[in-house]
Amino acid sequence: MIRLYIGNKNYSSWSMRPWVLLTQAGIDFEEKMVRFDSFEADSEFKKTVLAVNPIGKVPVLVHDGLVVSDTLAICEYLAETFPEEHLWPADKAARAMARSVCAEMHSSFGPLRTHCLMNVEADLAQQGLIVLRDQAGVRADLARIVSLWSGLLETSGGPMLFGDFCIADAYYAPVASRLRTYALPVPAQIDAYIDRLQALPGVRAWNDAALAEHDFVPMDEPYRSAR
């Protein structure tokens, strides 16, 4: 049995990626949610995760004695373990591009991640206006995301980035969530893609669970004092 350690669904963008991938693909797994109480060494979060992963971060996948602790590595492992699920595009060129855009997500978009923290439940449209006004890096990240998604959707013909759902869509699902939380403006075709992405059973299940948490983690809520 696969076990996936994750953080709070309302806040943990990196946890969302493999969870959505597993759920959308119908791969059976056991979820272990570790609450974000603190990232200090003596916190319950750190003690719990360090017992499994020496890096002390989530997500972590445990399967047949193997521990995989990086989101992209987890997705690659799942693609190799369950080839029948076609988690990467079948076409070689499309597969290479899908890996490329996932790697870009992995290493880029720092301003967006810094100034628009993941928060499924909140309505932070006013904060989004301020961030767009004041943060050139966020404006650049938004422009790149719009350009990237537009090009992929045009090439594939949709409905997902590479036609059918794949790892790339799971990878960008938290970005779509951020765009909605902060009401960042995007063209109609991008807005329609976000609608389709959020309507997927795996994404919808994550969002529903995030809304049901009724938890408030101050370190993840710089714009509010309560939920």
**Is 220 contained in some domain?**
no
**Is 221 contained in some domain?**
no
Sheet of 60-63, strands arranged across = 29-33, 2-6, 60-63, 66-68
Chunked in runs of 10, what are the mean pLDDT values of the chain (227 residues)? Answer: 97 98 98 93 92 95 96 98 98 98 96 97 97 98 98 98 98 98 98 98 98 94 87
The CATH number for 137's domain is 1.20.1050.10
| 205 and 103 housed in the same domain | yes
**Is 215 contained in some domain?**
no
Q: What is the pLDDT of residue 39?
A: 87
Residue ranges making up the domain that contains 33: 2-86
CA nearest to 22, candidates 32, 8, 34, 35: 32
Under the phi-then-psi rule, with left for phi > 0, alpha for psi from -120 to 50, and beta for the rest, what region is 153?
A: alpha
CA distance 40 to 54: 14
**Is 199 contained in some domain?**
yes
CA distance 120 to 15: 13
Task: Give SS3 for 31.
Answer: strand
**Is 200 contained in some domain?**
yes
| 64 and 96 housed in the same domain | no
Q: What is the pLDDT of residue 40?
A: 87
Strands 66-68, 2-6: pairing is unpaired
- Cβ contacts of residue 30 below 8 Å, gap of 6+? 1, 2, 3, 4
The CATH number for 30's domain is 3.40.30.10
**Is 224 contained in some domain?**
no
Give one DSSP letter per residue of 149-186, joined into a string. Answer: HHHHHHHH-SSBTBBB--HHHHHHHHHHHHHHHTT---
Residue 18 tokens read as 């493999």
| 39 and 12 housed in the same domain | yes
Domain boundary among 86, 118, 139: 86
Number of domains within the chain: 2
| 105 and 64 housed in the same domain | no
